[in-house]
Structure 1
């Protein structure tokens, strides 16, 4: 159920980006009314980990390098969007808004 108070300590977990097909299947198997689309990234972690109540808008970060000659950096790739009603359910990945999908909108709006 939903907690009566929200935590005050920021936590982090390691997640794995899940295949979009697996994400759609996971949501449909649980009869969840979710319209998963290209503007989202699915990510899943160990049982009991993942986004929960109050995490909406929180970051999905990726650490790595796109070029072998460049040191690893931290990239914002998504924002917490939606997930199962129960937090950290292993069979159901969380859905995150894909930053690159919305990049033009973001750039247009921060310029104003």
Structure 2
């Protein structure tokens, strides 16, 4: 898990997005996290090995972001192709606090439940992000149900509707969700082997009202594997 920071200096850094370490040099996140509108700042820092953003924990590693590679088809206000790679200024040290996630390459996801993590708001009416990293267990939403939930979205936002490059997840009864501040963070499934490793299947992209029954939409990682591999090996 990575926190993405914004602001003019490290003293005034604000952690407004999440991301996922996928190699020693690259963090995967959402393209809309390239900039923070309130701070009028590009993503400048990546923090690894943190649980509590307000604490000076053992294992924390902070890096300058030296390169931002958004998918070439990402064109706001469209929410499609919401994926970006942040390159770190130096190699992350892999240890008991920091390790990369595996990239899910299978379009067919058989897991019934998935896990989302982030430092975002805990409900729609809460104006503050959290300092402590949280996780929530969600259910994969069938594509037909997700299409129904977003059928009335504008063509500018979803010109292709819920595209095959997206995956939806939520809680049918409501009450569990990702929210503002969780953007760019991972949607994962745990792996039996290797031990204590996770496979990232989605990137937190957008939703409607946090914690309501409407599912949120995530960028489907498997769809972008060729692009990711091309960029990180250049």
TM-score range relative to shorter protein: 0.7 to 0.9
Q: Shift of residue 51 of structure 1?
A: 1.1
Q: How does 1:14-93 map to 2 (within 5 A)?
A: 14-28=137-151, 31-33=152-154, 34=158, 35-45=161-171, 46-64=173-191, 74-84=198-208, 86-90=209-213, 92-93=214-215
Q: Shift of residue 61 of structure 1?
A: 0.4
Unpaired stretches in structure 2, ≥5 consecutive residues = 1-123
Unpaired stretches in structure 1, ≥5 consecutive residues = none
Alignment of 1:96 with 2:232, yes or no, is no
Q: Aligned partners of 1:89 and 1:57: how far apart in 2?
A: 20
With over 3 angstroms needed to count, the CA separation of the structure-2 counterparts of 1:71 and 1:105, relative to structure 1, is closer
TM-score (norm 2): 0.41
RMSD: 2.1
Looking at secondary structure, tell me which structure has more strand per residue.
2
Q: Aligned partners of 1:19 and 1:5: how far apart in 2?
A: 31
With over 3 angstroms needed to count, the CA separation of the structure-2 counterparts of 1:18 and 1:64, relative to structure 1, is farther
TM-score (norm 1): 0.80
Match of 1:7 in 2: 130
Looking at secondary structure, tell me which structure has more helix per residue.
1
Number of residue pairs matched by the alignment = 104
